[in-house]
Amino acid sequence: MIDYKTLKHSDNGMPTWDAFLGPVLQVASTKDEWIGKELDQAVLDEVNLPEELANLRYASKYHDLIAYNRVGWALSEFKLSGLLNSPRRSIYRISETGKEALDKYGLNITRDFVHSQPAYIEHQSNLKNKKEVDNDITEDQTFELTEKQIKDWFDKQSSDLSEELIAKLRGTDPYQFEHMMVRLLNKMGYKGTNGQSVVTQKSNDGGIDGIINQDLLGLRTVYVQVKRYGEKNIVGSPEINSFFGALRRKQADRGVFITTSSFTNDARDAAKQLNIALVDGEMLTNLMIQYKVGVQVSQIYELYDIDDDFFEE
C-alpha cells in the first residue's frame, strides 16, 4: 500500500497527475497484462485515497472524478513513451524499458524522465510536423476528437499551468507577492469606484498585509494577510487566531487569509467562526487563471452550434 501523502500533490492533498506515474508503473508490473479500467482502479486502490479525495470531481458538465482522470493521464503518457505497451485496445503491459525504469526509480519516476524517452520525443515531433501527419492519412482515415477528449486535454493543460503558477508565486519576492494578491482581489471586485487599495509597510504592519477600502470613507474595509509558504508549510489555527487578533485591533469584522500552501482542518474551523475567508494555493491559482492575473491567453478556440432559432424565424 502506498501512502498518498508521500506523493507530490496539489494543495488540497490530491496527488498531481505525474505523482501517479510511479504507482501506475508499480501496479502494472504485478501482472502480465491489464485491462485499462482495471489498472486505473488497482492504482487508486493501492494509493488508498481518503473518501473526500477519491470522490472529488471537476466542476464541469461531465463531473469526472479527478483522481481517476489523473491516473488516466499517467497511463496515457506511459503508453506514448513506450514504458507501457498496448498490444490491443485498452490492454496494457509493462515493457522491458518500463521494468528497468521501475527498478531504477521506483515511485520517483518523473514527467521529465517519461518525456525524455525516444518514443515520446518522436510522438511529439510527429504532432508538430503537420505535413508528416497529413501524409499518414489515407482517404479512408479521419481523426475525430470528441468534446470530452478536448475537455480532458484542456483540464490537463490547466492543471500543468496551475503547478507552474504556484511554483512561480513561491519564488516571488514576499513584498511583490503582497501587491499581486491585492491586485487579484481588486480584479475580483473587492474595490469600490471610489475605494482604494493599500499594501502595508514591510515592517510594523501589525499582522495586516493589505487594506482594501470599498468606499471612500473606509466604512467597508477588507483586511488581508498573505503567506508565501512552501507546500509543506501548512497554515494552522494559531496563525488564523493571530490574524483575528490583528483584525480586532483594527475593529474590523472581516478578513481574507491567502497562502500558497494549504490550511489544516483546525484552521478552517477557526476561520468559519471568525468570519475569515481562506484562499489556499489551489484556489489561488484557479482564481488567478479565472481573472487573468499573472497569466495571459495564448490561444482561443471557439466551438459553434447551429442556431435553430435563426432558421425558425
| Pair (175, 138) in one structural domain | no
The grid cell for 119 is 518514443
| Pair (133, 251) in one structural domain | no
- The answer to whether residue 193 sits within a structural domain is yes
φ/ψ (deg, to 5) at 223? -105, 140
Cα 47 to chain centroid distance, Å, stands at 19
- The answer to whether residue 150 sits within a structural domain is no
Average of pLDDT values for 49-71? 79
Residue 298 has pLDDT above 80, yes or no: no
Which pLDDT belongs to residue 171? Answer: 87
| Pair (38, 122) in one structural domain | yes
pLDDT in tens, 99-131: 999 999 999 999 899 999 999 898 878 777 644
- The answer to whether residue 162 sits within a structural domain is no
Which pLDDT belongs to residue 133? Answer: 47
- The answer to whether residue 86 sits within a structural domain is yes
Average of pLDDT values for 281-293? 90
- The answer to whether residue 149 sits within a structural domain is no
Contact 120, 21 (CB under 8 A): no
- The answer to whether residue 20 sits within a structural domain is yes
Task: Name the residue with cell 498490444.
Answer: 87
- The answer to whether residue 62 sits within a structural domain is yes
| Pair (205, 103) in one structural domain | no
Q: Which residues, in sequence order, are bridge partners of residue 202?
A: none
C-alpha to C-alpha distance for 271 and 174, rounded to whole angstroms: 23
Which pLDDT belongs to residue 224? Answer: 93
| Pair (179, 116) in one structural domain | no
C-alpha to C-alpha distance for 28 and 95, rounded to whole angstroms: 10
pLDDT in tens, 71-80: 988 988 999 9
The DSSP secondary-structure symbol of 85 reads E
| Pair (204, 121) in one structural domain | no
| Pair (118, 37) in one structural domain | yes
Residue 61 has pLDDT above 50, yes or no: no
| Pair (126, 179) in one structural domain | no
Which pLDDT belongs to residue 36? Answer: 85
CATH of the domain at 261: 3.40.1350.10
- The answer to whether residue 29 sits within a structural domain is yes
Helix (H, G, I), strand (E, B) or coil at 304: coil
The residue with greater pLDDT, 160 or 228, is 228
Structure confidence at residue 234 as a pLDDT band (50, 70, 90): very high
Which pLDDT belongs to residue 123? Answer: 81
Q: Which domain holds residue 81?
A: 4-143
Length of the chain: 313
How many domains does one find in the chain?
A: 2
| Pair (180, 114) in one structural domain | no
Which pLDDT belongs to residue 139? Answer: 44
The grid cell for 85 is 505497451
Which pLDDT belongs to residue 138? Answer: 45
| Pair (245, 125) in one structural domain | no
Structure confidence at residue 231 as a pLDDT band (50, 70, 90): confident
Which pLDDT belongs to residue 193? Answer: 55
| Pair (134, 51) in one structural domain | yes
Residue 18 has pLDDT above 70, yes or no: yes
Between 128-132, 208-212, 260-264, the lowest mean confidence (pLDDT) is in 128-132
| Pair (8, 91) in one structural domain | yes
The residue with greater pLDDT, 217 or 25, is 25
Residue 144 has pLDDT above 80, yes or no: no
